Structure 1
Amino acid sequence: MAAHRKRRQRSVSGNKARTAATIALAGAATATGFDGTGHAEPQLTPAQVKAKVDKLYQEAEVATEKYNGAKEKAEAAEKRLATLQDEAARRTQKLNSARDALGSMAAAQYRDGGLDPALQLALSADPDRYLDGAEFAERAGSHQASSVARVREQLREIERLRGASHIELASLTSRQAELKRHKKTINGKLGAARQLMSRLTAQERARLGSGGDAPRASRSSTAARDGLAALGSVTSQAPNSRAAAAISYAYSKLGSPYVWGATGPDAFDCSGLIQAAYRAAGISLPRTTYAQIDAGRRVSHSELRPGDLVFFYSGISHVGIYIGNGQMIHAPRPSAPVRVAPLSEMPFAGATRVA
């Protein structure tokens, strides 16, 4: 028995040793995997960071255009709802006046010894009951029947307006939820891009064209001065006065910041800049890139003239205004203000002439 107990003690001692070794190895593995460089995320080069950031910005711009489209539809639904509600209020006021008139008629008949059944029906607090009995009302005297018929039609119209209002309210609620989803996506993409860019030094950001605040402001001022100096030459090549006016507006906004969802006058997203430029020229354009591309006549790359809208990426998620010599003015992204850039900067998807 004693020998048996002694062997158990050695076994426990051996287990302790093995456990200690395991813990030591685990500690080493932990240090390598989490505190060291063995399993850490590989350090990205500045070029790799830029590639990831560019992709995030492009994805954010896709979401921005979806946001713009949903916002446009939400605003339209809101206007339609307000119109329907105003019309329903006017109709209700007219209905009340008509019912008051019928009430006066009923009072006169009551004083004369009885209330016409048609008036009893018209003055009912239950519209369904009233409508169900409409045929009976029409068999009343001609004057009374005409009054009752008008009340009946007004009731029906009010119910129609209320039904349409419910539909518009549901549409508005859906669009507002869609706006929130797109906004969350945009902020997530932009936040991830900022986090990646924070890994780079100011010099690396400047070298990659993303820039710090001071270099960016300097470049923006230079671009604005150079652009305005070239404005006369560009507008003289525009096919008409409206295209020239749109180009002039775009030139005047060089250096303005990119803000998603913005349409000016001090900040823009890409489609917001185009919409504002042509609004200044007296032409109303849709809000989104994928609607703007269908707002005029499609032209090929070889047919481009100053003032044409130029679109990029397969999803038509970016737009600029062509100014000749293979260049455009556009609002690139949050890290870059409105500026002149070559068309070759992004994958060309098509062009439209709206003026």
Structure 2
Amino acid sequence: MRKRLITALTGLALAATIGLIPSTTAYADPDIDTVQARVDRLYHEAEQASERYNDAKIELEALQGDVASLRADQERQDEALGKVREQVADAMVSQYQGQGISAVGEVIVSDDPGAFLSQLTTMSSYQDHQDALLGDYADEVEALDIREAATARRVKQVSSVESRLKDEKTTIDDKLEEAESLLGRLKDEERAEILSRGGTTVPSDVPASGRAAAAVQYAMAQVGDSYVYGAAGPNAFDCSGLTMMAWAQAGVGLPHSSSAQYSSGARVAESDLQAGDLVFYYSPISHVGMYIGNGLIVHAANPGAGVKVSNLHEMPYVGAVRPG
């Protein structure tokens, strides 16, 4: 009896213990601050790749222009070589047909010393002409070889840059996909909170003068537009695409690259910033915005936030330039 009671009590205790163990594995919801940090990092890494992509596009356009010029020069050189080749061929045919040999015979049979000397001079001139033709031909061949080699080098560089473009595009897509996956694990309210963080009240008026006024007006009109890597309007932008298009309204051409834009104007100290100045972030530079006064900038931030107004020092500040 005592043995059966102990067994029963043991069973009840075991059942109670088992009842405390969850039947399925529980996963904690991702911490919103952790997700925020990871998403921000992924967006930044994607933007770095995007700006490198923009740089590569600029380099590719320049290389393609070089290739076009080199090929045109190569075609001109090929035509010049063809003309010299014809002259050499004609000279060789003439010699083969006996024109040069007949001159030798005339020298040998001539009884007139003056004619003899004249014929020697003629033969010497003829030989000099042939030598010059052959020399010209060799020079033209060498010039063509140089141009062909230069063209081949540029074509190879184009292929290398195109490969870089493909790699950077893959990096952008992978980083963006990972960020979207992280955001997808959050509840709608948490996702909205992350994407709305860092927003600043948009000023109703931004005083600006000269050409900068047109640039500032354009940039501010895009607040709320989407961020798309490599885009330059009209309804979506990346960081350098926005500033490029904004200053284009003022008649100032800027490259579609944040690092290249850093060399597009006079450097400006932070204490001397004016509305319209371009401000740059990170090292190496991978983000650009436009100063609008009162310690604020307008910029295409990232795919989550789009074009917005932020504090000047929301990101690691590097410096500023004044376009135009």
Structure 1: which amino acid aligns with 2:162? Answer: Q
Aligned to 2:25: 36
Q: Separation in 2 of the partners of 1:265 and 1:150?
A: 56
Compared CA separation, residues 324 and 160, structure 1 to 2 (3 A): same
Q: Separation in 2 of the partners of 1:325 and 1:88?
A: 57
Selected match of 1:66 from 52, 63, 71 = 52
Selected match of 1:348 from 308, 317, 324 = 317
Selected match of 1:163 from 119, 139, 149 = 149
**CA deviation after TM superposition for structure 1 residue 322, in Å:** 1.0
Could you tell me which runs of 5 or more consecutive residues in structure 1 were left unpaired when the two chains were aligned: 1-27, 116-137, 212-218
Q: Deviations over 1:228-283 (max 9, x none)?
A: x63xx52xx33x32x22322332343333211122334432101222222233232
Structure 1: which amino acid aligns with 2:303? Answer: P
- Contact 2:30-2:186 within 8 A present in 1 as well: no
| Mapped pair 1:336 → 2:322 | no
Q: Separation in 2 of the partners of 1:276 and 1:98?
A: 52
| Mapped pair 1:293 → 2:259 | no
Structure 2: which amino acid aligns with 1:287? Answer: H
Selected match of 2:283 from 314, 334, 342 = 314
Structure 2: which amino acid aligns with 1:305? Answer: Q
Identity %: 38
Structure 2: which amino acid aligns with 1:176? Answer: E
Q: Deviations over 1:175-203 (max 9, x none)?
A: 12222222221111111100011122332
- Contact 2:227-2:301 within 8 A present in 1 as well: yes
Aligned to 1:57: 43
Aligned to 1:81: 67
| Mapped pair 1:150 → 2:136 | yes
Aligned to 1:257: 226
Aligned-residue RMSD, C-alpha:
3.1
| Mapped pair 1:107 → 2:102 | no
SS in 1 for 2:231: coil
Q: TM-score, normalized by length of structure 1? A: 0.70
Aligned to 2:105: none
Compared CA separation, residues 267 and 139, structure 1 to 2 (3 A): farther
**CA deviation after TM superposition for structure 1 residue 146, in Å:** 3.4
Q: Separation in 2 of the partners of 1:340 and 1:193?
A: 22
Q: Separation in 2 of the partners of 1:113 and 1:151?
A: 22
**CA deviation after TM superposition for structure 1 residue 321, in Å:** 0.9
Selected match of 2:213 from 230, 244, 248 = 244
Structure 2: which amino acid aligns with 1:77? Answer: L
SS in 2 for 1:350: strand
Aligned to 1:277: 246
Q: Deviations over 1:54-74 (max 9, x none)?
A: 111111111111221122212
Counting only pairs closer than 5 Å after superposition, residues 126-205 of structure 1 correspond to structure 2 as 141-205=127-191
Structure 1: which amino acid aligns with 2:264? Answer: A
Report how many aligned residue pairs link the two structures. 282
Selected match of 1:323 from 292, 304, 307 = 292
Aligned to 2:237: 268
Structure 2: which amino acid aligns with 1:342? Answer: N
- Contact 1:139-1:145 within 8 A present in 2 as well: no
- Contact 2:258-2:286 within 8 A present in 1 as well: yes
Structure 1: which amino acid aligns with 2:195? Answer: G
Counting only pairs closer than 5 Å after superposition, residues 116-131 of structure 1 correspond to structure 2 as none
- Contact 1:310-1:352 within 8 A present in 2 as well: yes
Could you tell me which runs of 5 or more consecutive residues in structure 2 were left unpaired when the two chains were aligned: 1-17, 102-123
Compared CA separation, residues 312 and 141, structure 1 to 2 (3 A): same
Structure 2: which amino acid aligns with 1:253? Answer: Q
Structure 2: which amino acid aligns with 1:258? Answer: Y
Selected match of 1:209 from 195, 199, 211 = 195
- Contact 1:260-1:269 within 8 A present in 2 as well: yes
Choose 82-91 or 285-294, whichever is displaced more. Answer: 285-294
Q: Separation in 1 of the partners of 2:222 and 2:279?
A: 18
